[in-house]
Structure formats: structure tokens, C-alpha cells
Amino acid sequence: METRKVIVVGGGAAGFFCAISIAELNSSTKVTLLEAGKKTLRKVKISGGGRCNLTHHCFEPKLLTSHYPRGQRELLGPFFQWQPKDMIQWFTERGIATKREADGRVFPVSNSSQSIIDCFEKEVGKKDIQVLRNSMVTDIQCIKNTNSWLVETEGGATHEGDQLCIATGTLKNSRISSCLEKLGHTLSPPIPSLFAFNVPSHPLSDLSGLSLQDAEVKIPSLSISQMGPVLITHKGISGPAVIKLSSWAAKKLFFKDYKFEVLINWLGSNGGMEGRMVLKNVRKEHPRSIIGNCPYPLIPKRLWGKLLEQQSIAKDITWAHLSKEQEKSIYEYLTAFRLPVDGKSTNKEEFVTCGGVSLTDVNFKTLESKKAKGLFFAGECLDIDGVTGGFNFQSAWTTARIAATRIAK
Ligand SMILES: Cc1cc2nc3c(=O)[nH]c(=O)nc-3n(C[C@H](O)[C@H](O)[C@H](O)COP(=O)(O)OP(=O)(O)OC[C@H]3O[C@@H](n4cnc5c(N)ncnc54)[C@H](O)[C@@H]3O)c2cc1C
């Protein structure tokens, strides 16, 4: 019997896991992995601040999908086939112990992304997978009479495979977008996701470094909001709530050229009627105490002082001297603090690109193209992206494993 040949394009998380899985599930397949760069697994290396947040401790497929602004519906079936629990077990069986942090993020116990890279490289060696670096794929063609695939790399070398898996990450600099379009695929334009909001002439810049664990950030023009920790930076606002919001609103904010207004509710889940009553009660019960003493235990003193300053309310007047209008104004500043955003800053810990191969053109039971037989996709080249927390690697592992399962059959 002739050995089946498979080509995987892209030596990142999805490409490596796909290539290894194919060889693991069908040892008679010859797998060649083509990587454009000098080095493979570069993003894995820098991921999670060098610690690699490899997945999230969320084992319920439906709940897991709720962390994907794009790909939520399509990933449900795949997560029933390969999910964080499977990936953790896969690593454990290969000697990589993992740990879960309080917020659910999962890391290798070693706290080093290098252990993930070493594990993949060891598997690639054991399974005799051919990894060709400095091999930027520039052309892809389907050979009609044999139903196989021919890829050409920069410099003119060609490789033939019975099946082909595209795992190039973002298509932005991949040089294969036009080939995929020629094959009938629609591509959504690459657009950044996971970023902080810049606020020029930032009124809170001298509070830079201050963070609130429970706040709410809203974009009224998009009717979208997110609760969670917010960090005030010298450039604007950041922190998990902001980064998650950027992900949910990524495409719409791109078309607004990152110019929009946000409203911050500094009281977060402690706002509403309860939060309003705190002000009313303090006026009634402690009329002689001074306003400078913040009545909200979770609002940092510096922020409280700044909010009063912005409304020109002296810190040393007593609650009895506060007018009804001033009380109303304090509450508005606390629950709907306006900030005009103009621009974004990339999140250094983790950033992804949304956009890529349109999901309607892909069969999510197999990750095979609906446009061309024998062509598969895995990872960030698909129009899928998650919020921070290990979700982006998980979608790369899942799509890679499912593509590999079908290829190996
Ligand atoms: C700084 C940073 C930190 C991150 N941290 C985390 C984290 O902790 N947890 C998490 O879940 N996600 C994290 N992410 C996101 C995560 O890294 C990506 O979602 C993931 O790497 C996608 O994997 P991929 O294999 O699809 O793409 P990539 O990792 O981008 O790999 C694609 C590979 O394909 C190669 N390639 C491209 N075009 C061609 C071509 N034409 N021919 C040959 N090769 C080609 C590229 O050179 C690249 O090596 C982080 C991202 C960044 C930038």
C-alpha cells in the first residue's frame, strides 16, 4: 500500500498539534510541516508572558463557547469532541503537569512555555514528522486528476500531499489569501482583537496603576458592556473587563476607527438602588462627616478624591452642606463616568486577530473545506477568536485535533 502524504502549512500551535495528531492517529501517514520562519512555535514561546496559558479550566462545552465572540456557534460540536479536559490529559500523558489558577487559566506547572515547545518537538521527532523551516508557502493548487495538492514555497520548491491542512495563523502576512479566494473561500479582513482603550488628555492619568476589581465598562453606541477588573493606565483604561469588551466589539470598533465614548460604572455589581442608597444614608446618618471620606468601601480613596475634584466639590465640606444636585452629580460620576476613547493599545500579554476563513465555508464536523475536498483548516486562520484566558489556544487545539482525526481516517 502506498504511504499517504499530508502537508501542514504553519508551524504554530495548531500546525504542530495537527501534524502530531495525524501521525498519532495513523502511523502510516507521512506528515510534512512547512513553516515560513526560521523558528517554529514562536507565539507559544511568548504566550502568557512566557508561561503559556494553554487552556482554560472550563469543561462544559456550551459554557466554553460563551468565551468566543466569533466562532461561538461553530465550536459547540467540536468541543464535544476535543475540549480542555482532553488537552490537559494529552499533556499529562506526555509528562507535562498543568495547574489551574484561581481565575480558571491553565498553565504548565513549570511556568515555562518552553516545556510545551519541548514536548511538541519530542513528539515530532518520535513520529518522524518532517519539519521544514524557512519554507513560506506562496502557492497552493489542487491537482484535479489525482485529487491531491501541490504547494510551492518561496524559492520554487514544491511539495505534494493527498491532503492539506492550513494552519498559518492570521492570514494577514500569510501570502496564501489569494490562493484560498481562488479556491472559492470568502475571507473576512484581519482585524485586531484584545486591546486597551486610549483616552487622549486622559482626565484620570495621574491615577495610572490604580485598579478596581469590580467595575462595569459600557459602550453606549453599541449597547454592549462588560463587568470585571478595570485598570487605569497613563494612556487610558485596560484590565480584563476592557480587554474582553474590545474582543466582543472588535469589528464594530474597527469601523468606528477606535473613536467612541465609554461609560464606566465604578461601583460595578454594587451599583443600582443599593449604591444610590449609600449616598442618601450617609447624608442622613452622618451629616457632619466630611465628603472626602468615601462611603463606598471598594472605591479607592484616590479615585473618590479625583471624582470630587472633577465636579469642583471641596473635599472638606460636610455631607450636610452638599446640595441635592451635587449628590446626583456624584452618583452620575460614580456610575456613568464618561471617557472619550480615541485609539487602542495592544495588549502585551495576549493579542489575536479576528477575521480569516469564513466559517460558513467550513464543515465543523471535520474542519474540511466545503469548497475543496482534501483541504482543511486549523487555528487562527479561521474567523474564530476568544477572549483572554487560554481560549485562543483551546480553539487551535480543538480545530487541529478534529482536522487531524478526519485526515487520519
Ligand atoms: C503575545 C501573545 C501572547 C499570547 N498568549 C496567549 C495565551 O497565553 N493563551 C492563549 O490561549 N492564546 C494566547 N495568544 C494567542 C495565541 O498565541 C494564538 O491564538 C495561537 O498562537 C494561534 O495558533 P496558530 O497555530 O493558529 O497560529 P500561529 O501561532 O500564529 O502560527 C502560525 C504559523 O504559521 C506560519 N505561517 C504563516 N504563513 C505561512 C505560510 N504561507 N507558509 C508557511 N508558514 C506560514 C507562521 O510563521 C506561524 O509560525 C497569544 C498571542 C500573542 C501574540
Q: Domain holding 88: CATH number?
A: 3.50.50.60
pTM of the entire structure? 0.92
Q: Are residues 18 and 93 in the same domain?
A: yes
Q: What is the mean pLDDT of residues 335-339?
A: 96
Q: Are residues 170 and 205 in the same domain?
A: no
Q: Are residues 147 and 212 in the same domain?
A: no
Closest ligand 1 atom number to CA of residue 12: 31
Q: What pLDDT score was predicted for residue 120?
A: 98
Choose among 149, 155, 162, 163: nearest CA to 132. 155
- Which of 304, 329, 346 represents a domain boundary (last residue)? 346
Choose among 171, 264, 262, 256: nearest CA to 215. 264
Whether the predicted pLDDT of 347 surpasses 70: yes
Q: Are residues 186 and 205 in the same domain?
A: no
Q: Are residues 27 and 158 in the same domain?
A: yes
Three-class DSSP category at 163 = strand
Range of the domain at 279: 195-346
Q: Are residues 303 and 181 in the same domain?
A: no
Whether the predicted pLDDT of 164 surpasses 80: yes
271 or 152, which is more confident: 152
Whether the predicted pLDDT of 300 surpasses 90: yes
- By percentage, how much of the chain surpasses pLDDT 90? 91
Pocket test for ligand 1, best of 42, 47, 164 (most atoms within 8 A of CB): 47
Q: What pLDDT score was predicted for residue 59?
A: 98
C-alpha to C-alpha distance for 122 and 198, rounded to whole angstroms: 43
- Which of 326, 346, 366 represents a domain boundary (last residue)? 346
Ligand 1: distance of its center to the CA of 169 in Å? 5
Q: What pLDDT score was predicted for residue 352?
A: 85
- By percentage, how much of the chain surpasses pLDDT 70? 99
Q: Output the residue whose Cα is nearest ligand 1's atom 23.
A: 13
Q: Which residues line ligand 1 (CB under 6 A)?
A: 9-15, 34-37, 42-43, 46-48, 52-53, 135-137, 167-169, 174-176, 350-352, 379-380, 390-393, 396
Q: What is the mean pLDDT of residues 9-33?
A: 97
The pLDDT tens digits for 44-66 are 999 999 999 999 999 999 999 99
The pLDDT tens digits for 303-326 are 999 999 999 999 999 999 999 899
Q: What is the mean pLDDT of residues 273-296?
A: 91
Q: What pLDDT score was predicted for residue 377?
A: 98
Q: Are residues 184 and 60 in the same domain?
A: yes
1 falls in which pLDDT band (50, 70, 90)?
low
Choose among 168, 113, 112, 107: nearest CA to 389. 107
Q: What is the mean pLDDT of residues 81-95?
A: 98
Q: Name the region of 367 (left: φ>0; alpha: ψ -120 to 50; beta: rest).
A: left
- Which of 317, 346, 375 represents a domain boundary (last residue)? 346
User: How open is the CA angle 39-350-342, to the nearest 5 degrees?
Assistant: 125
C-alpha to C-alpha distance for 408 and 26, rounded to whole angstroms: 5
Q: Are residues 82 and 136 in the same domain?
A: yes
Q: Are residues 291 and 255 in the same domain?
A: yes
Ligand 1: distance of its center to the CA of 380 in Å? 7
Number of domains in the chain: 2
Ligand 1: distance of its center to the CA of 76 in Å? 22
Q: What is the mean pLDDT of residues 168-175?
A: 92
